[in-house]
Amino acid sequence: MSASGDAFGSIGRRAFLKAGGALVVGFAIGVPSAGRAQSTARGATAGPPNPELIDTWLAIHADNTATLYIGYVELGQGTTTALPQIAAEELDLALEQISTAQHDTNVTPNQGGTYSSASIARGGPQVRRAAAEARRVLLELASERLGVPVERLRVENGVVTAEGTNRSVTYGELVGGRLFEVPFTGEARPKSPDQYKLVGKPAPRKDLPAKVAGTYTYIQHLRLPGMLHGRVVRPRGQRAYGAGARVVGVDESSIAHIEGARVLRKGDFLGVVAPNEWAAVRAARELKVSWDDRPSLPPFDRLYETMRADETDDTVVLERGSVAEAFASAAHRVTFSSRCPYQAHATFAPNCALADVKADSALVIAPTQDAYGTRRTLAALLGLPEDKVRVQYCESSGTYGHSCYDDVAQAAALMSQLAGAPVRVQLMRWDEHGWDPYGPAHVGEVQVAADTNGKLVAYEYHGWHHNWSLIETSQQLAEGTEPAEWPFLVSQQVSPQNCGAMYAIENLKLVNHRLRTAKYLRCGWLRSPLDLSLSFTSEQAIDELAYRLGEDPCEFRRRNIADERWLGVLDAAARAASWTPRPARADRNDGPVVRGRGIGLGTHLASWGGAVAEIAVNKQTGHVAIEHLYGAIDAGLVVNPAIVEAQIMGQLVQTASRMLFEEVTFDERGVTSLDWNGYRVIRFEECPEITPVIVQRLDQPYSGAGEEVMAAAAAAIANAFFDATGVRMTEYPFTPRRVLAALSSA
Amino acid sequence: MASRFRIRVNGRAHTVRAEPDTPLLYVLTNDLELKGPRFGCGLAQCGSCSVLIDGVERRSCVTPIATVENAEITTLEGLTRWFAAKRGLSAVPDLHPVQQAMLDEQAPQCGYCYNGMIIKAAELLEQNGDPSDAEIRAAMNGHLCRCGTYPRIVNAIKRAAQTMRASPEDRE
Ligand code: FES
Ligand code: FES
């Protein structure tokens, strides 16, 4: 069985390097050793394979192991453990008997991209269905073989036994190495949750042994025979999305002294290649290029004013009741406005991709979240039909959304096409930080009102931001493509889930003010898109209302809560933090370091999140320490609680980082936060204690758990700041400078 | 001009041809095909490329090849061997106690930063067999984990320290 821990199965890196012919090597990637013959056939034609066939999803090997073919990728979030867990459950296999094939557009199905916490929410039911169909067929075959009706068969670890006899047959003996060649019947019935033996229980991650041993293959480790090392050449720090980066002149002689280095150019897309990697790095650094350097961005210190005053396309996202009347007659009203920064994916490893582009076909290996989506844009860029482009996934460091992985795939493809040789492109730290599709900045204005009984009666939210950029940098520079925006609206607008949905409010209005993207920064989805900004704004207003009413913020939320799922996470977070009721500011302490606690609710698109934060603020230095974060998620049925606990931990630490440190900075000529000094993220000494809480709901459908407690935690941190200081932060990150300014103007 | 350099990595001598200013990292990954040290920033800011040079954690991304000719370089691949030699163990274990503890704690997410985390923690535990939380955080503070797995790394280092103190084979 190929260990899914090593992305390239039994094919070691050395073999990979030595094997002749890149395409051949490429085709062997992800082939499980036990099922090679069959799987080679699998890779021979362009996908996606028919999702209604069992063979698309599953192969049973002669040694009684299985390979699961999934269209989701391992990003360190446990997909290659949790989805096999679902399949193993239905098939009564041990988790060790099932591994996953690497995502590959010639092999694996199209499940639509590993984002919006989709792998379990959308992929789970698909895998469960396929595994149940396979089990149905396997039991029919076993029934024939053993001469016993299906009802009298028992399965354990892939061994089918006739009840009350010692006769048995393994799955491997029944179909090992052959295809099922059976479509779904729709008759297979998945197990009911009370029969679960594996699902709902913690299981160790399959990819971790190789990751701690240092034998795991990340994309940065791959090499293709005869390949060149490539680097992109761009200004340090992107300009406005609409401005691209215009080349005025290139002095190729400036790198003539670097052995084997060549300049590649298509339009404004500029790169260098060399057989030696350090030569490529030096060539990119030393190549003399003059860029059109006209200012294109709004002044950094007037960003929010510019956004607020700019031309917008306005949409009423949701409206019910009569907000104006309700506000007019309400006993208590609070308005609050916020300014929230651009933040970066800032992947720990800059993205990397390899491409071998020939006249009539292309192989591209990239750390994409959506191999089929990447294939589509690559085909257009290379002028090849889609079925002549093969995209294979290989893991890089965590991406937390749409980082530069599509951009680097395009860069590698373009450079391979221009060089006529396989090319590996490794972005440099400043490329990744400087040309990231950031999470958009946001200006929020919210008004909330309660009646004399402390019941929420009206809510209105206005949000200003711009959409995600559709055109990758490489394509934009190479072809001069006009900037365009992602058409997909959910996650790019004021989201009902974070603006009022957690409370029962009769009168509610949400308005989205969409800015035109061209004069702002390039943007994309960053883990829990817009949610932190929305809840930072919305939940502070709710908190302020509780404070004005002299109520405990948790009790106030409980009384107004929308439903039992929200109540469940609110109570779970409060209980974990041993929350005792008191209004904010009731425990005032007046030394130089003041402490506070805060609570918040929020989510992404599905699931429910609640969080409590405990923080300390040094009023003399402006330094904020987040001491403890408690985060509760209700994601329906949680397949592997150990993985979800780890996900909650990661979300809470990242939220602490985003609230305290992270902010993309720029001047009118471009982005200036280009490395880990310019773009600060949280470190060991600043990391809070973390308490993850899972609200397990065995009887509810799976929903996402990879980004659903960040909004709640952002709000909890902001509310804790108020509890500690009596001052509401209207902007994050809470840098010492910003904190001191807020404290002194209060 | 490219020159020839003799380096010792994980107990073996290698001769490589490189420009003298080539960072050691590129030689380890390209010429020696090692997977432990890996590119993260190239600026000595993140710890992704860490190796032990004469037992001290160093950033191979900013260490020119010309400066390490007479040094003993240990990468993640050679860590168990280095550990066994330090401790006078009769056999080289499959994993360093820090690696085993990282696994027991299910610490990594993407795991890319773990080369540096393991190297740095192994260095720390040679100097301080019973570090406090604060000492661990201070020692590790120059290593970033963007996935936010710091709490489990701290737990794993404490667990490894305990194993190493309890180990009967530890003859120090
Ligand atoms: S790659 Fe060397 S410290 Fe980041
Ligand atoms: S585990 Fe992903 S960067 Fe540390």
> pLDDT at position A118, please?
63
Q: Which of B49, B78, B107 is the last residue of a domain?
A: B78
- Closest CA–CA distance from residue B17 to any residue of chain A (Å): 11
- Does the structure show a pLDDT above 70 at A11? no
Which domain does B52 fall in, by range? Answer: 3-78
- Does the structure show a pLDDT above 60 at A6? no
- Judged by its nearest atom, the ligand closest to the C-alpha of residue A397 is 2
Check whether residue B43 and residue B107 sit in a common domain.
no
Q: Which of B78, B95, B121 is the last residue of a domain?
A: B78
Kindly report the number of other CB atoms within 10 A of residue B132's CB atom. Answer: 10
Distance in Å from the first CA to the final CA of chain A: 64
Does an H or E element contain A416, and which?
helix A405-419
Q: Where are the alpha helices (DSSP H) in A147-299?
A: 171-175, 208-213, 277-286
- Tell whether B133 is within 8 A of chain A (Cβ): no
Local confidence band at A436 (pLDDT 50, 70, 90 cut-offs): very high
Q: How far apart are CA A556 and CA A536, in angstroms?
A: 17
Check whether residue B112 and residue B160 sit in a common domain.
yes
Q: Are B18 and B39 in contact (CB under 8 A)?
A: no
Check whether residue B62 and residue B110 sit in a common domain.
no
DSSP A559: H
Does an H or E element contain A514, and which?
strand A507-515
Check whether residue B20 and residue B40 sit in a common domain.
yes
Q: Which residues of A touch B109 (CB under 8 A)?
A: 76-77, 398, 646, 650
CATH number for the domain harbouring residue B54: 3.10.20.30
Q: Which residues of A touch B26 (CB under 8 A)?
A: 277-278, 281
Q: Which amino acid is at A24?
A: V
- Judged by its nearest atom, the ligand closest to the C-alpha of residue B50 is 1
The string of pLDDT tens digits covering residues A72-100 is 888 777 888 999 999 999 999 999 999 99
Ligand 2 touching residue B48 (CB < 6 A): no
> pLDDT at position A115, please?
66
Q: Which residues of B touch A279 (CB under 8 A)?
A: 19
Tell me, yes or no, whether B172 lies in a domain.
no
Distance in Å from the first CA to the final CA of chain B: 46
- Closest CA–CA distance from residue B69 to any residue of chain A (Å): 18
- Judged by its nearest atom, the ligand closest to the C-alpha of residue B47 is 1
Q: Where are the alpha helices (DSSP H) in A29-66?
A: 36-42, 54-57
- Tell whether B140 is within 8 A of chain A (Cβ): yes
- Closest CA–CA distance from residue A509 to any residue of chain B (Å): 36
- Pick from A462, A637, A470, A482: nearest CA to A533: A462
The string of pLDDT tens digits covering residues B61-82 is 999 999 999 999 999 999 999 9
For the domain A220-232+247-291+351-427, what is the CATH code?
A: 3.30.365.10
Ligand 1 touching residue B49 (CB < 6 A): yes
Strands ordered across the beta sheet of A507-515: A312-320, A507-515, A456-466, A442-450, A332-340
- Does the structure show a pLDDT above 70 at A305? yes
Domain boundaries, chain A: 36-204, 220-232+247-291+351-427, 302-343+438-745
| Residue whose CA is at the smallest distance from ligand 2 atom 4 | B145
Check whether residue B22 and residue B92 sit in a common domain.
no
> pLDDT at position A7, please?
33
Q: Are A97 and A158 in contact (CB under 8 A)?
A: yes
Ligand 1 touching residue B119 (CB < 6 A): no
Q: Contact B42/A428, CB-based, under 8 Å?
A: yes
Check whether residue B44 and residue B116 sit in a common domain.
no
- Does the structure show a pLDDT above 90 at A2? no
Strand partners, A513: A314, A464
Q: How far apart are CA A295 and CA A239, in angstroms?
A: 8
Check whether residue B36 and residue B90 sit in a common domain.
no
Q: Kindly report each contact of residues A19-23 with a partner whose C-beta sits within 8 Å and lies 24 or more positions away, as own/partner.
A: A19/A225, A20/A225, A21/A225, A22/A224, A22/A225, A22/A226, A22/A227, A22/A356, A22/A363, A22/A422, A23/A356, A23/A361, A23/A363
B54: left (phi over 0), alpha (psi -120 to 50) or beta: left
> pLDDT at position B168, please?
55
Ligand 1 touching residue B61 (CB < 6 A): yes
Check whether residue B68 and residue B140 sit in a common domain.
no
> pLDDT at position A526, please?
96
Token couple for A553: 């913020």
Check whether residue B94 and residue B149 sit in a common domain.
yes
The string of pLDDT tens digits covering residues A209-252 is 999 999 999 999 999 999 999 999 999 999 999 999 999 999 99
Q: Which amino acid is at A313?
A: D
Q: Over chain A, what is the mean pLDDT?
A: 92
Q: Contact B118/A398, CB-based, under 8 Å?
A: no
DSSP, residue by residue, chain B: --EEEEEEETTEEEEEEE-TT-BHHHIIIIIS--SSS--S-SSSSS-TTEEEETTEEEEGGG-BGGG-TTSEEE-GGGHHHHHHHHHT-SS--SS-HHHHHHHHTT--SS-TTHHHHHHHHHHHHHH-SS--HHHHHHHHTT---TT--HHHHHHHHHHHHHHHHH-TT---
Q: How far apart are CA A727 and CA A709, in angstroms?
A: 24
CATH number for the domain harbouring residue B128: 1.10.150.120
Sign of CA dihedral A397, A690, A688, A568: positive
Ligand 1 touching residue B48 (CB < 6 A): yes
- Does the structure show a pLDDT above 80 at A30? no
Check whether residue B36 and residue B112 sit in a common domain.
no
3-state secondary structure A136-184: HHHHHHHHHHHCCCHHHEEEECCEEEECCCCCEEEHHHHHCCCCCCCEC
> pLDDT at position A286, please?
98
Check whether residue B66 and residue B84 sit in a common domain.
no
The string of pLDDT tens digits covering residues A460-496 is 999 999 999 999 999 999 999 999 999 877 889 999 9
Q: What is the average pLDDT across A644-658?
A: 97
Token couple for A364: 């591209």
Architecture of domain A302-343+438-745: 2-Layer Sandwich (3.30)
The string of pLDDT tens digits covering residues A357-380 is 999 999 999 999 889 999 999 999
Q: Which of B78, B96, B120 is the last residue of a domain?
A: B78
- Determine the 3-state secondary structure of A426 from DSSP: strand
Local confidence band at A432 (pLDDT 50, 70, 90 cut-offs): very high
Most A CBs within 10 Å: which of B1, B33, B62, B112, as the mutation test of the A interface? B112
Q: What is the average pLDDT across A143-157?
A: 96
> pLDDT at position B39, please?
98
Sign of CA dihedral A12, A17, A18, A19: positive
Tell me, yes or no, whether B89 lies in a domain.
yes
Check whether residue B73 and residue B100 sit in a common domain.
no
> How is domain A36-204 classified at the CATH fold level?
Aldehyde Oxidoreductase; domain 4 (3.30.365)
- Pick from A518, A546, A486: nearest CA to A722: A546
Domain tally for chain B?
A: 2
The reply to whether domains A220-232+247-291+351-427 and A302-343+438-745 share a CATH topology is yes
- Determine the 3-state secondary structure of A583 from DSSP: coil
Q: How far apart are CA A314 and CA A659, in angstroms?
A: 28
Strands ordered across the beta sheet of A689-694: A593-602, A608-618, A624-634, A689-694
Q: How far apart are CA A451 and CA A388, in angstroms?
A: 64
Cα within 13 Å of Cα(B167), Cβ side: 19
Contacts with A, B 27-56, CB within 8 Å: 29-30, 33, 35-36, 38-43, 45-46, 48
- Does the structure show a pLDDT above 80 at A120? no
Ligand 2 pocket test target in B46, B105, B147, B154 with most atoms within 8 Å of CB: B147
Q: How far apart are CA A706 and CA A527, in angstroms?
A: 8
Q: How far apart are CA A467 and CA A116, in angstroms?
A: 16
Ligand 1 pocket test target in B22, B24, B45, B57 with most atoms within 8 Å of CB: B45
Strand partners, A362: A357, A389
Q: Contact B112/A396, CB-based, under 8 Å?
A: yes
| Residue whose CA is at the smallest distance from ligand 1 atom 3 | B44
Q: Read off the pTM.
A: 0.94
Local confidence band at A289 (pLDDT 50, 70, 90 cut-offs): very high
Which atom of ligand 2 sits closest to the CA of residue B111?
1
Ligand 1 touching residue B42 (CB < 6 A): yes
Q: What is the average pLDDT across A5-30?
A: 29
Ligand 1 touching residue B156 (CB < 6 A): no
- How much distance in Å is there from the Cα of B48 to the middle of ligand 2? 10
Kindly report the number of other CB atoms within 10 A of residue A164's CB atom. Answer: 9
Q: Contact B35/A216, CB-based, under 8 Å?
A: yes
Indicate the burial class of A179 (C-beta count within 10 angstroms; 0-12, 13-18, 19 or more).
middle
- How much distance in Å is there from the Cα of A402 to the middle of ligand 2? 17
- What residues in chain B have per-residue pLDDT under 70? 167-172
Strands ordered across the beta sheet of A153-156: A153-156, A159-162, A168-170
Tell me, yes or no, whether B134 lies in a domain.
yes
- Does the structure show a pLDDT above 50 at A126? yes
Ligand 2 touching residue A237 (CB < 6 A): no
Tell me, yes or no, whether B70 lies in a domain.
yes
CA angle A553, A555, A559 (to 5 degrees): 120
Query: What are the E-state strand segments in A194-325?
Result: 228-232, 247-251, 262-266, 269-274, 288-291, 312-320
> Percentage of residues in chain A with pLDDT exceeding 90?
86
Q: What is the average pLDDT across A389-397?
A: 96
